[in-house]
Amino acid sequence: MNVFHIGTIAFETADTKRELKSIGGISGYIIELINYSLSKGIRIGFIGKIYNYSKNKNLSYIQVQNKVTSTNKFLIHLLYKSLITKLPPKAIIHAHRPDHLAAFIIFNNRPSVISLHGQQAHTVNVRKGKLIRTIYQVLEKYAVKKAKALIAVDPITKDFYSKLYPKYQQKIHTIPTGVNTNVFYSTEKSISRKKLGFKESDKIIIYVGRIEPPKRIDIIIEALRLIVQKDNNYKMVLVGDGVLMDDMKSLSSNLNLNDNIYFMGVRKRNELPLLFNSADVSVLISDNEGSPLSVKESLACGIPVVANAVGDISELIKDSHNGFIINKNDIHDIANKLQLSIQNTKVFKQNCIDSIKSYTISHVSDDVIKLYNKILNEQ
């Protein structure tokens, strides 16, 4: 079996600098699926942009651009690349955006799969202008029509696209993202804190992800302000970067929280387990999610999660068991649930670890590979 993924990913080595793309959840999803597929003897190729590519990765690489530019330029280069690229017979194309698939298969029709990481159509409709929305809608509709299968990473995304394209709803399968429990697992908190320079008395809330508009970092900071008014031992560790970084630093300063918030910037994925294990609770408040890896990675490290019900979070997080589901519009509720989670972090620990047993990389990747085989058998 040959599978070619389309997208942008970043590999990491000891010499790799911390790059913005290295923390992306979709990049992590693709890399874990690639590594697992290679371990099962599947021949893997990649079409797009790989940061830190080396030939010893044991996958063929078809570079679309030297550097990542705008989505529109990437699509144009991808369309051109499809005209001059020869792939093995019956090779499966696995795209991670509908428009990526559309651009590549217009003149290169092959068995194909799209992973739907959240409601991309909704995001484009809200954040882009009329022209971009129109172009995207055309490309997405074509991709959904031509794809042999679509993988929704959460039930909400499946329901969204089933209603948007009822004619093709039978092609949509729910397969969540998976966590690598060989990398993300519970370790001694005191050791992690010592390595990072945190105090034993600190009560640490961690956020890992992009610092961009859909991620409501402002709400988290406002909730922290309420907590700190009662207990100054509460700290927040923000791991990531994005267009709102300066705004969030300004908000932190305006609320006199500079001593309570650590802006860690982008970290390599292999640094994340240490950061999670130093925390007491993980938080995610977002306007739109699919199947966020940071939630699963936190749980795998035994750290409870406080989050609002987006994507598949409500299937993962159970109140007073491994965290809490909150109303993102109720800052007092958020502050209260963060404190409750920290008070019960030791009680919740094993529940957190147990809750991701069906979300391991091997479990979810096997489901993807079964789907590949189904597509090939139907050819």
Residue 219, token pair as written in the block:
């709400």
Within a domain: residue 50?
A: yes
d(CA 117, CA 291): 7
Cα angle, residue 337 at apex, residues 331 and 339 outer, rounded to 5°: 105
CB 104 within 8 A of CB 81: yes
Q: What residues contact 298, with CB distance under 8 A and at least 6 apart?
A: 206, 208, 276, 279, 282, 304, 305, 352
- The verdict on 341 and 206 lying in the same domain is yes
- The verdict on 28 and 173 lying in the same domain is yes
The pTM is what? 0.86
- For residue 328, give the nearest of 235, 240, 216, 236 by alpha carbon: 216
Within a domain: residue 112?
A: yes
- The verdict on 165 and 58 lying in the same domain is yes
- The verdict on 245 and 193 lying in the same domain is yes
- The verdict on 27 and 160 lying in the same domain is yes
Within a domain: residue 268?
A: yes
Cα angle, residue 122 at apex, residues 120 and 306 outer, rounded to 5°: 80
- The verdict on 18 and 128 lying in the same domain is yes
- The verdict on 8 and 102 lying in the same domain is yes
Within a domain: residue 135?
A: yes
- pLDDT at position 23: 45
Cα four-point dihedral sign 138, 142, 144, 147: negative
Within a domain: residue 193?
A: yes
d(CA 266, CA 252): 18
d(CA 76, CA 114): 19
* Farthest-apart Cα atoms in the chain, separation: 65
φ, ψ at 252 (rounded to 5°): -60, -45
Within a domain: residue 183?
A: no
- The verdict on 229 and 171 lying in the same domain is no
- The verdict on 68 and 80 lying in the same domain is yes
- pLDDT at position 21: 45
Packed helices 120-127 and 155-164: angle between N→C axes, nearest 10 degrees: 70
Domain membership of residue 209 as a residue range = 189-359
Q: Going residue by residue through the chain (379 aa), what tens digit of pLDDT does each one get?
A: 999 999 988 887 666 665 544 446 788 899 999 999 999 999 999 999 988 887 767 899 999 988 777 888 999 999 999 999 989 988 999 999 999 999 999 887 789 999 999 888 888 888 888 888 999 999 999 999 999 999 999 999 999 999 999 999 999 999 999 999 999 999 999 999 999 999 999 999 999 998 988 899 999 999 999 999 999 999 999 999 989 999 999 999 999 999 999 999 988 888 999 999 999 999 999 988 888 889 999 999 999 999 999 888 999 999 999 999 999 999 999 999 999 999 999 999 999 999 999 999 999 999 999 999 999 988 7
Domain count, the chain: 2
- The verdict on 165 and 198 lying in the same domain is no
Indicate the SS3 state at residue 364: helix
d(CA 335, CA 320): 15
CB 4 within 8 A of CB 108: no
- The verdict on 66 and 206 lying in the same domain is no
- The verdict on 142 and 250 lying in the same domain is no
φ, ψ at 5 (rounded to 5°): -90, 150
- pLDDT at position 286: 92
CATH code for the domain of 237: 3.40.50.2000
Distances (CA, A) of 43 to 8, 39, 47, 52, 370: 19, 10, 14, 20, 15
**How crowded is the C-beta side of 292, counted as CA atoms within 13 Å?**
30
Within a domain: residue 184?
A: no
- For residue 186, give the nearest of 351, 358, 341 by alpha carbon: 351
d(CA 200, CA 271): 20
Q: How crowded is residue 99: how many other Cβ atoms within 10 Å of its Cβ? A: 24
d(CA 124, CA 19): 25
Cα four-point dihedral sign 277, 279, 281, 284: negative
Distances (CA, A) of 88 to 45, 102, 108, 110, 354: 10, 19, 12, 10, 41
d(CA 133, CA 229): 44
